[in-house]
Amino acid sequence: MLRYLNECSRGRGAWILMALTAFALEMVALWFQHVMLLKPCVLCIYERCALFGVMGAGIVGAIAPKTPLRYVALVIWIYSAFRGIQLAWEHTMIQLHPSPFMTCDFAARFPEWLPLNKWLPQVFVATGDCAERQWEFLTLDMPQWLLGIFVAYLIVALLVLIAQPFKPKKRDLFGR
């Protein structure tokens, strides 16, 4: 399995697939916001940023998968998935155990050099409350689903990282 993961990480297809899954999740989030009229909170916006990080890692990995750039993509992927887990966990705890002492900010704070909320307010402006449960599917709220999604991204990323020293088998004409 590790040889297979190494082989996949050296091709564009797996990286593009990862970027497309993150893009699809971003489109679902925007559909929830603009069609179903759910209000994203600050943690939702940060979780979107983590998904954009996973998507960016897929794009970076797809650019030159057979070069050391693949390792840069892996670092971005692992960091984004880990931060996504932290954010989704915090969001889940706020929703499961509401408290007036544990709340989220009123507005997302982005660096001055990257004011995403000003550049693209339709995507990065928070209007909701982190403690409010707006959507549920199969008894799980949105941050709980995101927690599972980010854990899956992180597990796969760590397996791909572990697989890097395992070189793909050379195949000859007779399958030896």
Q: Which of 8, 49, 83, 130 is catalytic?
A: 130
b/e map 77-104, b = 16+ CB within 10 Å: bbbbbbbbbebbbbbbebbeeeeeeeeb
Q: Which of 104, 133, 171, 176 is catalytic?
A: 104
CB 141 within 8 A of CB 133: yes
Q: Which of 48, 133, 171, 176 is catalytic?
A: 48
CB 69 within 8 A of CB 63: yes
Nearest to 79 by CA among 100, 101, 52: 52
Is 49 considered catalytic here? no
- Residue labelled with tokens 């709980």: 144
Is 44 considered catalytic here? yes
Q: Which of 10, 41, 83, 133 is catalytic?
A: 41
What size, in residues, is the chain?
176
Q: Which of 3, 10, 44, 83 is catalytic?
A: 44
- In what helix (H) or strand (E) does residue 137 lie, and over which residues does it extend? strand 136-137
- Please name every residue paired with 136 in a beta bridge, in sequence order, or none if there are none: 141
Is 130 considered catalytic here? yes
Q: What does the alpha-carbon distance between residue 59 and residue 62 come to, in Å, rounded to a whole number?
A: 5
Catalytic residue positions? Answer: 41, 44, 48, 104, 130
